[in-house]
Amino acid sequence: HIPFSLAGIFHLHPYQPAVAAAAGVMKASVITSGLAVLLLEASQSSAFVAPSKAFASINNNAAKIESSDGRDAHLSSGLPSFSNQQSMLSTNIGSSKLHATAGSSTRSDAATSMNATNGTTGKIIFLLPHNASTLKSKFGSRSPYGNPSILEATEQLRKKASWFSDGAVEAEIVILPQEENASVSLSNDVNVKIENADALIAFQLESNKDLNYVKQVFGKRRKTRKDDRCHFALDCGADANNGADMSPICGPYDPSAPSVSSEVLPWTSDASGKRLIDQMNGLFDRWTSDDFTYAIMLFFNQFASSTGEIDWVKHSIDATWEKGLVQNGKELYDMVTKCGDCVAKCVQDETCKKCLDELTAVDTSDQVASYRTIVSFESELLKEFSFCILQKNNIFNCDAKIPKMPYVEPMKEFRGKPLTKEVARGILVGHLDDEKAMDGSERTDISWKVGAGANVAYDQFPSQNQIFYESANGKSMWYDPVFRVETIDGRNVWANRHYRVREEAVPGTFRFSVLDNGVTSDEFWTIVDCADDLSHIVFHYAGAAGAVGQRYLGGLLCTADGTLPAEEHREPIYEKLRSAGIEPWELFECDNRMDSEGAMDAGPPPLEFFRKEVLQRKRELKEKI
């Protein structure tokens, strides 16, 4: 049989972060083309009876957006309004409270927790050594800022646990005391918290005293075992006595004493725990805050009884054991009966099928590799394939809304005056040679170039150009990101996208929408800061790709040419990033070298690909006046 994968329908949005990395590209399990053909033939037979009782119908509601040339493109409806941002649930990004507890320190978020499912709250405990404030972590290894202390890193993880769970999960930091005693001594209340936490994560513990304490705690958690808990020891030392006692648990699965069912019965909860622990460890090993938080959310979504489903991770377009036979069968049936022509055309086309085959071989949690693969084999058939399955018919019944946490304030003033919508537009236009460019613009062929971004997936791509300009009728704007991708066969090519940009009620806030590879993404952007001389700009964005059930957050630090400001000028900019919930160590610096081998291989970027049509249309409209 020829392998057939649903992987090609996955849409990897250019600004999609690593919160989706745990399900990764959420690639479906391999399904043979022979099975697909049989189902196609059966569905066309008069003797075929659809199992309607088992398979619920999926409704599709769509609105439309105007494209640059006047044509219509589908845009999913039912999106939340962000006109009144002040009414959003807000969280104090910078706040935390520190209180001493019998020789230990604990930190917990001051933000109010909420859970629309059952009103209860999940609990994470981060266990740190006494020198956590000075001990460098592995986070931030690719940032221009450098590695933060493990205390700084876990403080950010604590906040993100609340944001990614919409307040359903809260985290505390417990710092083990520095004592000369042979063993760690904590208050009974703190010990009870640690032993009963839904998730317990020990970071960078080295001393025998600390390791022995964790070993004892892990042992107690194993003895009083519940199937809705997990614990991990990450980057911790170990001696001859610690081995298996420091091994993790995840729900019902204990790798130190694996059950037979976890090895031979893949549909059991033990086997599910085994798969999840492997997935979580893979995400932890990346040492990024988004990957880490996403991994923890996967656990709460799958096993923790305290929270119910977690919206960030509850959807999947995989064929999985967790979904079960009926749900997997329903999705396959709907795919073949509703999109049979698109499926058949794709698997019969050499380029489209090659993309599916290559995606099947890609690590499901590697978004960059997956996106490189999609760009390597982009075609209209692939777009039609994904549009039919995901956007038009929503076969996987996904639904994702733009995140509301954290609330990010837009800048209030520019050049000493209150920010207006007109001025905010001019800031977006930036350095582009355009009639709407402001004083101080360098009037080049781009608006801004990304110097660094807080996005594990997209910000590893080099040469990221941003182009903002008004629509032909001036009622809205367009945004064209043009960036370079190295294909899986070693070529360097340019990728571009075309976003509609609409102003929101508050100056400095915008709504972006794009139809990309058959799937609509919707985003809320905020101008957090911009220098009066246009030397830099800071963006924050929150978005969702509803048809694949994905939500994401991110931010960008941009300049005229992509060169980061001098180090001595960065701290005020870092403070602006922090105000948007982004720590500087979360940034990935972009490679904007024009003389690099990849840039030379790719040739000139297609910066005017979309804009030239809009400019032509604008000239035509002026001539009619």
How many alpha carbons fall within 13 Å on the CB side of residue 278?
A: 9
Least confident of 17-31, 295-309, 429-443: 17-31
Express each pLDDT in 366-380 by its tens digit. Answer: 667 777 888 888 889
pLDDT at 210: 92
Spans of all domains in the chain: 3-55+318-392, 118-302, 413-624
**CA 472 from centre of chain:** 33
* CATH class of the domain whose range is 118-302: alpha beta
Pair 283, 276: CB distance under 8 Å: no
pLDDT at 435: 95
Q: Record the tokens describing residue 452, joined without a space.
A: 């660094």
Question: What is the CB neighbour count within 10 angstroms for residue 146?
Answer: 11
* CATH superfamily, domain at 413-624: Calycin beta-barrel core domain (2.40.128.20)
Express each pLDDT in 136-187 by its tens digit. Answer: 999 999 999 999 999 999 999 999 999 999 999 999 999 999 876 656 778 8
pLDDT at 363: 64
User: Is pLDDT of 16 > 70?
Assistant: no
How do 199-203 and 122-128 pair as beta strands?
A: parallel
Q: Which secondary-structure segment (H or E) carries 82?
A: none
DSSP 532: T
Chain position carrying tokens 């994905």: 550
User: Is pLDDT of 472 > 80?
Assistant: yes
How many alpha carbons fall within 13 Å on the CB side of residue 521?
A: 26
Average pLDDT of span 33-44: 38
**DSSP assignment of 512-529:** EEEEETTEEEEEEEEEEE
Q: Measuring CA to CA, which residue among 328, 274, 311, 490 is closest to residue 399? A: 311
User: What are the phi and psi torsion angles at 149 (to 5°)?
Assistant: -70, 160
Express each pLDDT in 380-419 by its tens digit. Answer: 998 898 899 989 999 988 899 999 999 999 999 999 999 9
